[in-house]
Chains A and B, each alone.
Chain A
Amino acid sequence: MSANSTSIAMEAPVEMQIQEIAFDGQETYAPSLSMSENLTKLAQKIDFAKCGPEEVNKEITEINRNEDEAEQSTAPPIWPWDSVRNKLRNALTEVSVLADLLTIAKGKKYVVLDPVPHDPPELKPMVMVYARKKSFAGAASVLLSGAERLKNSLAEAQKNRTTTADFHIELLRLRQNFRLKKVNNTIIGDLSYFRSSGSKHIHSGTFEVTKSEEEPDKLLSPPCSPNPNSANKLTSALRVTVPGELQGIASIKVYFQKDQDSLYSSNLNTPDTAFSIPEIDWQRKLEVAQNVLFCKEMFNQLAKEAVQLQSPIPHVVVGNQIIASIFPGVQLVICLSHMEMSTDGKASLPPPIPRHDQVLEHTLHQLLRELHEKKNYPLPHPASAPLGPSRKRSCAGPYAMDREEFVEMTESQTMLEQVIQQAQHTQLRDRTLCILDKLATQYKDPLISVHWLWLNSPTYACIKVTIFAQGYDEIYRNLVIIHVYDTYLKCISRDGKVVHLSYESMELKNYILCQICRHQIMAVQYLAKSMGWQCVANSFNLGSGTLIETFGNASSCILVSPVGDRLISIHCDQNSRVQVSVAQTPRKDFFPGQLVKERKWENLGNSFKEVQWEKMIGKNFLSKMELLMTSLTSSWMQ
């Protein structure tokens, strides 16, 4: 050992990594890394991308030193890394040389970069020409096919727009909706519907279908889309000829009439000159013709029933009108209005119909369809069952229908009866409405509020009428429920009494007025009870006396104060006029006379003095009564 150098002993630290400590304190050491493993670990730490050549050199020399020392300290050789080291060293040398060269060449002072000339490649012109030709042909074919397609679509679009639709396509569309058959070069179609819907009306309606070569721009074909706003510009190649009696537009008109005069005067603005029906497409034309057939059938059915039915006032069938009387004085008129085309193509209008009731017309349509449906015999299940009974009857077995249901099934009403019933109910309902409205506007002292139930049927309606005083509806409220049927009303009052009223509207007015009167007296009684007064006598049906009006009733009651010294007598008559009189029990004006000598007879009292009711303060009858009772109630102190 020299004096300047110090030998350093390098040895790995003895400490070994503790892998785990057992529960009894014993330590398990992880095996320490061997030299090669250690070196591998260090080599992995090198980041070749980051460091510069000097650092790399440094690191390599470090590694070398490590290796040498490792070689010195331990025996195992590190050959696998040797080749790596060599390669790296070579790469470093080359890269540093290239870097030096490039920096020098950049300077352009000592080294200049010049391109190396190449031999030109040999040309094959024909090959090139052929190649170019082929590529051009491919591009041209693509363009040509595109152009061809565009031309085709344009031609089709033009064809669709200007020329007429194909006859056969139109025929196909016609066949989708109507039955067609070919007879001796002509095509005949069928408008009748009795086979498919169960109707009994055998009326053959046929129409003829022809090609239209002449006047192609007058006929129209039905629009393709159901959009009503799209203008229908297509012209048709199909012409449809409808038989004469089914031409035109028909409908059933229903209205009410009073005693041979028109019930309502009509002010329809109809033009005087006839108008021409615009040309419509064949689908609508056929539908209109079928509608004519349907209306004719309906009118026939109604006329048949009108003749067969027995009624107190017989129904009259005149021409195209059926007149049935609903109530004495009011008639229901059903007429078939057929707007026919005259020969010059102009239509003549039927006489204007006053106030046509569309609800009843709709009812008639519904009833006829219902009739068709009932007659529509279903195929029986099982197949061996008898063919004939309606659907309801064949289900009677499995549903275990009892005798009442059977009886119900056999009862049926004719169409005319049902329509008359509904018309009666409509009229009765309107009358009831009028009367109640008039009464509600007329009477302000007890208010009348009318509530119509929304749940009703064509032959039934229900009304709830409440009579109450404003501000005192908690004290007493009179309720009347009115059921409106077809020819009579059923009124149920608050005490449970049921009254049947006929169609005369005056009966209802009378009833409501009686209820109003009753309300006044009952309300006063309840008010008196709440104030401590007692009712000693009342009477609800005093009659109308010598007054001219014969509607309504008068009622009265007598109240006595809590102490017993005052009496109030109230009389309420049918016009809601009240007469109130007051008496005092120990009479103030008692003088013993010849017959009545003793003082005690003053207690009989009862000479009533009338109160000037108009001068009383109070909004309505009950508030005035309350004031009167309050003022007459004497306190104990006095």
Chain B
Amino acid sequence: MGVTILLSYPVPENKTGPQTAELLIKRIGALGAVQSGQFLVDCETFSSGPTMGGPPRTVHVLHNSEQPAAVFALLESPGPPPKTVPLVADGLFDLLMLKMSSIYASKKQTRMEARGTRFEIADFLVKIGTVTMSSNFKGVLVEVEYRPCFIAGNCWELMREFMQSFLGSVVQNTPPPYFQVHNRLNDVYQPLDTIQQYLDHFASYRKVAGL
């Protein structure tokens, strides 16, 4: 599992989302990327009903097609202090959540998906996907993974240069906000970090009203 950076590519006014995605695909194709399948990251949210007591807690259940056997779950409890508990589980976890439907109710309308194509260039893995929330387009997400390295601080410069080559000035010179807290730049990168980045972006997309 290499270091993965997730970027939200802003859609220019005169273009639609899919067109932007096409444009990025063309650019990455020009660099010599080879298409190698599709990818899908989806997120379903459950919130705890009144039977639990206390402020309502949310559970986000995410799947990543890159890790087909795993299910990621993040529990956000707002009660003081607010904390997020991550979990990586086998596929049976989905069935468990189904069984707990009386306690944790799923909000079907907030199901978010990032779907698109994945490309391989040398040691990099690029995924360009469109984010939809119950078939409403929300934005374009670009995920870039550098496979050989698993410490973000060691390869941030390299990845920034690579991303700027086909994304342009959208890429900032400082690492994304996810990596700037908790000394994450020097920690070993886990698949869970990718999922948390996806969750952050999905949350920001949810806040944007309608598109």
Contact = CB atoms under 8 A, between A and B. Distances in A.
A385 B90 contact: yes
A143 to B, nearest CB: 77
Given A384-B92, A400-B192, A406-B68, 8 more contacts: A385-B92, A397-B88, A397-B91, A397-B92, A398-B88, A400-B70, A400-B72, A400-B191
A406 B93 CA distance: 20
A401 B67 contact: yes
B69 interface: yes
Contact of A402 (B67, B88, B89): B67
A485 B92 CA distance: 42
30 contacts: A382-B92, A385-B90, A385-B92, A393-B69, A394-B90, A396-B69, A396-B70, A396-B90, A397-B69, A397-B71, A397-B89, A397-B90, A397-B92, A398-B70, A398-B90, A399-B70, A399-B88, A400-B70, A400-B88, A400-B191, A400-B192, A401-B69, A401-B70, A402-B1, A402-B66, A402-B191, A403-B66, A403-B68, A406-B68, A406-B69
Interface residues of B, number: 17
Nearest to B67: A400
Contacts, number: 43
Interface string B61-86: 00000111111100000000000000
Contacts of B92: 382, 384-385, 397
Contacts of A394: 90
Q: Chain A interface residue count: which class?
A: 10 to 19
A397 B66 CA distance: 12
Interface in A373-417: 382, 384-385, 393-394, 396-403, 406
A126 to B, nearest CB: 95
A608 to B, nearest CB: 51
A559 B67 CA distance: 63
Contact of A398 (B1, B68, B89, B190): B89
A122 B93 CA distance: 104
Interface in B6-52: none
Interface string A24-36: 0000000000000
B156 to A, nearest CB: 22
B91 to A, nearest CB: 6
Nearest to B72: A400
A194 B71 CA distance: 36
Contacts of B88: 397-400
Contacts of B66: 402-403
A393 B91 CA distance: 12
A631 B66 CA distance: 71
A261 to B, nearest CB: 49
A408 to B, nearest CB: 14
A97 B191 CA distance: 112
A98 to B, nearest CB: 97
Contacts of B91: 397
Contacts of B69: 393, 396-397, 401, 406
A400 B90 CA distance: 8
Contacts of A385: 90, 92
A250 B90 CA distance: 46
B102 to A, nearest CB: 19
Contacts of B89: 397-398
A385 to B, nearest CB: 6
A462 B69 CA distance: 37
A382 B91 CA distance: 12
B10 to A, nearest CB: 29
A622 to B, nearest CB: 42
Contacts of A396: 69-70, 90
A406 B69 CA distance: 9
Between B66, B67, B89, B93, the greatest number of chain A beta carbons within 10 A of the residue's beta carbon is seen for: B67
A384 B91 CA distance: 12
